[in-house]
C-alpha cells in the first residue's frame, strides 16, 4: 500500500500494523504516534489485532544465523546514526530543532541535513527533502512565526503532520499531532502561528503546484 486509499485514518493505522504502508507514510504514522498518546493507543490496538491474525498463520523457520545477522544490523545502524548526528551538528539552520524531533523523524531529518541541508523556499519558509530514492515526495517544512508557505495546489493527495508549533489555512487551524489532508482539487496557503516556529512533515505523491509568480518560475524550470 503506497498511499492511504481510504478517508478513514483508522485504515491507515491498520495498514501500518499489517506492514502494508510505504516507508514515507509509515514515517508519518510513527511520528504522529510519538506526539499523540491516543494515536499510539490506536496503533497498539491495530497491532494486537494483526498479531492475533498472524498467530493463525503457518509458521516458518528462520534462516541460519538470522539472530546474529540481526544483531550486526542493529550495531551498524547505531554506528551510522551517531555519525549522522555528528555531521548534522556541523550543518546550518535548525539543527537544535532537529535534535529535539521525535524518532524516527529525527534520524531521517539529521540524515537529510547532513546530506543536503535546508532549502529556502521563500521568506521565512525552508524545507528539508526526506524523499531519498522514493517517488513519494517527503519534506520537513520549517516556517517562521507568521510566515506563509506560497499558495499552492497539489498534483496528488497531500498529508501534512504538524510536529511542532502550528499553522492555519482557510479551512482551519492545526497543532502538534494534527494532520491536514488535501486533495488535488484543493488550493491553500498555510500560515504559521505567531507564537513560534512551525515544523511540519508533508507527504504527497505528486508534489506541489504553486500559483502566482512562483508558479511561473516552477513551470519555466520544468521546460
pLDDT value at 209 more than 90: no
Q: Based on the domain organization, do 139 and 47 belong to the same domain?
A: no
pLDDT band at 194 (very low <50, low <70, confident <90, very high): very high
Q: Over pLDDT 90: what percentage of the chain?
A: 41
| Residue 165 forms part of a structural domain | yes
| Residue 14 forms part of a structural domain | yes
Instruction: Give the Å distances, CA to CA, from 19 to 28, 117, 128, 174.
Output: 14, 30, 26, 28
Q: Based on the domain organization, do 51 and 85 belong to the same domain?
A: no
Whether the bond into 104 is cis, omega within 30 of 0: yes
Higher pLDDT, 166 or 76: 166
Number of independent structural domains in the chain = 2
Domain, as residue range, for 119: 69-222
Q: Based on the domain organization, do 42 and 152 belong to the same domain?
A: no
Over residues 148-189, the pLDDT tens digits come to 998 988 888 899 999 999 999 999 999 999 999 988 888 999
Region 196-205: what's the mean pLDDT? Answer: 93
Q: Based on the domain organization, do 101 and 193 belong to the same domain?
A: yes
Tell me the pTM. Answer: 0.75
Q: Based on the domain organization, do 106 and 146 belong to the same domain?
A: yes
Which range (78-82, 95-99, 104-108, 139-143) has the least confidence?
A: 78-82
Three cell numbers, residue 179: 494532520
| Residue 197 forms part of a structural domain | yes
| Residue 4 forms part of a structural domain | no
- Which of helix, strand or coil describes residue 122? strand
Backbone angles phi, psi at 108, to 5 degrees: -65, -40
Q: Based on the domain organization, do 29 and 82 belong to the same domain?
A: no
| Residue 64 forms part of a structural domain | no
Region 99-121: what's the mean pLDDT? Answer: 91
| Residue 2 forms part of a structural domain | no
**Which pLDDT does position 218 carry in this prediction?**
44
Can you state the percent helix, strand and coil of the chain, rounding each to 5?
Answer: 40, 20, 35
| Residue 3 forms part of a structural domain | no
- CATH number of the domain to which 211 belongs: 2.60.120.10
Residues 111/133, Cβ–Cβ less than 8 Å: no
Q: Based on the domain organization, do 35 and 104 belong to the same domain?
A: no
Q: Based on the domain organization, do 15 and 106 belong to the same domain?
A: no
Q: Based on the domain organization, do 50 and 126 belong to the same domain?
A: no
Q: Based on the domain organization, do 48 and 149 belong to the same domain?
A: no
pLDDT value at 215 more than 50: no
CB atoms inside a 10 Å sphere around CB 206: 15
Q: Half-sphere exposure of 206 toward its Cβ, with a 13 Å CA cutoff? A: 14
Q: Based on the domain organization, do 34 and 81 belong to the same domain?
A: no
Q: Based on the domain organization, do 41 and 90 belong to the same domain?
A: no
Cβ burial 18-57 (10 Å sphere, 16+ → b, else e): eeebbebbbbbbbbbbbbeeebeebbeebbeebeeeeeee
Amino acid at each position: 500500500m503506497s498511499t492511504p486509499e481510504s478517508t478513514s485514518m483508522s485504515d491507515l493505522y491498520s495498514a501500518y500494523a499489517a506492514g502494508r504502508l510505504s516507508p514515507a507514510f509509515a514515517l508519518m504514522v510513527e511520528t504522529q504516534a510519538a506526539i499523540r498518546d491516543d494515536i499510539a493507543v490506536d496503533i497498539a490496538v491495530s497491532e494486537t489485532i494483526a498479531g492475533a491474525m498472524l498467530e493463525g498463520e503457518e509458521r516458518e523457520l528462520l534462516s541460519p544465523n538470522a539472530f546474529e545477522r540481526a544483531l550486526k544490523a542493529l550495531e551498524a545502524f547505531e554506528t551510522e546514526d551517531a555519525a549522522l548526528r555528528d555531521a548534522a551538528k556541523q550543518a546550518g539552520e535548525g539543527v537544535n530543532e532537529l535534535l529535539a524531533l521525535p524518532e524516527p523523524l529525527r534520524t531521517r531529518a539529521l540524515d537529510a541535513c547532513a546530506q543536503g541541508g535546508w532549502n529556502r523556499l521563500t521568506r521565512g519558509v525552508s524545507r528539508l527533502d526526506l524523499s531519498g530514492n522514493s517517488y513519494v515526495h517527503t519534506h520537513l517544512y520549517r516556517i517562521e512565526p507568521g510566515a506563509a508557505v506560497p499558495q499552492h495546489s497539489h498534483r496528488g493527495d497531500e498529508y501534512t503532520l504538524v510536529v511542532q508549533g502550528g499553522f492555519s489555512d482557510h479551512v482551519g487551524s492545526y497543532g502538534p499531532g494534527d494532520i491536514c489532508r488535501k486533495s488535488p482539487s484543493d488550493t491553500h496557503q498555510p500560515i504559521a502561528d505567531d507564537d513560534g516556529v512551525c515544523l511540519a512533515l508533508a507527504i504527497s505523491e505528486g508534489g506541489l503546484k504553486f500559483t502566482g509568480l512562483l508558479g511561473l518560475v516552477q513551470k519555466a524550470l520544468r521546460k
